[in-house]
Amino acid sequence: MTRSANVGWSIAVCAVLAATAGISFATYQLISFQRGMKLWDEGVTAANTGDFDTAISKYDAALRMRLGAYGAGIVYSNRGVAYNSKGLLDRALSDFTEALRLHPGLVEAYVGRSFAYISKGEIEKALDDTNEALRLDQNSRDAYHNRAIASLNKREFGKAVADFSEAIRCDPDNAGLYVERGNAFLADGQCDAAIASFESAIRISPWLAEAYWERDFAWERRAYKLLNKGIKAASERKYDEALKFYSQGLDSHPGVRNHAVLLCNRATVLGYLNRREQSARDYDEAIRLDPNFFQAYYNRGINHRECGRVREALQDFAEVLQLNPKYAPAYVDRGAIYVRQKRLDEARADWVNAVENIDGIEAEQRPRFLNSIAWQLATSPNSSCRDGKTAVRAATQACELTHWKRRDYIDTLAAARAEAGDFASAIDSENQALQFSEVSSREYEDMKGRLRLYQHQQPYRETK
């Protein structure tokens, strides 16, 4: 039996039943329609309270009534929304498709189906549906919203921002849309625009906690970007520019940890600019904010040393090593102070500790530290400071890390080998260093002098 024949049979039966009951067929249809409308309304009410199971049940019953194609299309669409909310995406897609068959041009069905497609990861299909919805209604907030979400899935952040803005045009008092646009701005790296969007959400809904959280996160992101700009400028010795970036970051509500880091970095730049007292104040504040920030103690120790406050410098280096016993730079710098104080055994112990913990130094800085330590341990005029074995180890590692391309590091290795008593290897290393073409005449003569010492079985010593 065909579908049309079956429908005709049902109508005939209903007509007979209506006549038997003493009512006209038209009255029967009206009653069925009214019952369907009531069930439809009950389904909407249940859906609005989040009771989607009841909503679906009501929509099921409504669809058994005589709503006509127009009404049935809307109910199918509503049931599809309920299925979306329960994550029953295939059922939702089926309902939205049926809704569009019964009610072509139903914008809500295109919007609902686009949401289901997004949830299934079928982004191109979702975009097709949002585009069709917007062709039918250029003021569909939800269509713009869903198209923005689809664009975010494709990492097309500019398009997402544009569509969130259109959704806001359609519904300018919707704080949630401003929050979503703010997050799209953030994803696109536009921190200032994101902050402005979150601020708009807060003005509309001062009680919307999410807007505050996201705004604070955007502030931190902005501060972090400025921190990185400052680091880059400082690495290029553009200290005034770095100072500007760090100061802007500090004005950006950076959060406690970023605040301390920005202060520490600004203090370091102020030191380079010989503004030592300002530098000290920034270090003090960074440590107050984060008492476990050992790098701030280390940098403040350097600042104290440069200002001649040796006792305070030693206290800071000791605090660093209390917080992080593997922080090699503190051993190196404290060892240098110990040498000047004639505390030679302590100096050597610190330099040996620095070599043992060299992994605590950033990779690009390790060769420089290793070479400096090796030179001290190999050439110090004070025997208490020398350690040939450790010097060879440190110098060899410095040469390996720089792929044997640093003449001065190979020269240090020669001195270390001589201190260790391996004069044949010392002679080989010094001759290797002498082969570098960029050696100045003064450096060449110095290295030739060391080579003569090694050839006479004598190590090199720095003058006191």
- Say if CB 389 and CB 348 are below 8 A apart: no
Residue 261 exposure: Cα atoms within 13 Å on the Cβ side: 17
Q: What number is the average pLDDT over the span 155-176?
A: 96
Percent residues over pLDDT 90 in the chain: 69
Q: What number is the average pLDDT over the span 27-42?
A: 72
Name the phi and psi angles at 228, rounded to 5: -65, -35
Q: Is 300 exposed, middle or buried (0-12, 13-18, 19+ CB in 10 A)?
A: buried
pLDDT at 6 over 80: no
- DSSP assignment string, 91-140: HHHHHHHHHHHHSTT-HHHHHHHHHHHHHHT-HHHHHHHHHHHHHH-TT-
Q: What pLDDT, on a 0 to 100 scale, did the predictor assign at position 24? A: 54
Q: Tell me: the pLDDT tens digits for 187-217?
A: 999 989 999 999 999 999 999 999 988 988 8
Q: Residue 406 CA to chain centroid, in angstroms?
A: 37
Rounded to whole angstroms, the Cα distance separating 190 from 186 reads 5
Give 397's contacts (C-beta < 8 A, 6+ positions apart): 358, 366, 367, 370
Rounded to whole angstroms, the Cα distance separating 107 from 145 reads 13
Q: What pLDDT, on a 0 to 100 scale, did the predictor assign at position 333? A: 92
- Say if CB 170 and CB 140 are below 8 A apart: yes
Give 306's contacts (C-beta < 8 A, 6+ positions apart): 271, 276
Amino acid identity, position 137: D
Residue with tokens 């689809």: 150
Residue 360 per-residue DSSP state: G
Q: How confident is the model at residue 288 (pLDDT cuts 50, 70, 90)?
A: very high
Q: Tell me: the pLDDT tens digits for 226-277?
A: 999 999 999 999 999 999 999 999 988 887 878 999 999 999 999 999 999 9
- Say if CB 25 and CB 41 are below 8 A apart: no
pLDDT at 11 over 50: no
Q: Biggest alpha carbon distance in the chain?
A: 131
Q: Tell me: the pLDDT tens digits for 97-134?
A: 999 999 999 999 999 999 999 999 999 999 999 999 99
Residue 35 exposure: Cα atoms within 13 Å on the Cβ side: 13
Q: What number is the average pLDDT over the span 162-174?
A: 96
pTM: 0.63
- Quickly count: other Cβ atoms within 10 Å of residue 387's Cβ: 24
129: which 2 tokens? 């549906």
Residue with tokens 């107050």: 288
Q: What pLDDT, on a 0 to 100 scale, did the predictor assign at position 1? A: 29
Q: How confident is the model at residue 29 (pLDDT cuts 50, 70, 90)?
A: low
Q: Choose the most confident range, by mean pLDDT, from 207-221, 273-287, 352-366.
A: 273-287
- Please tell me the least confidently modeled range out of 62-66, 138-142, 211-215: 62-66
pLDDT at 13 over 50: no
Rounded to whole angstroms, the Cα distance separating 225 from 396 reads 38
Residue 181 per-residue DSSP state: H
In which region does residue 63 sit, left (phi positive, over 0), alpha (psi from -120 to 50) or beta (all else)? alpha
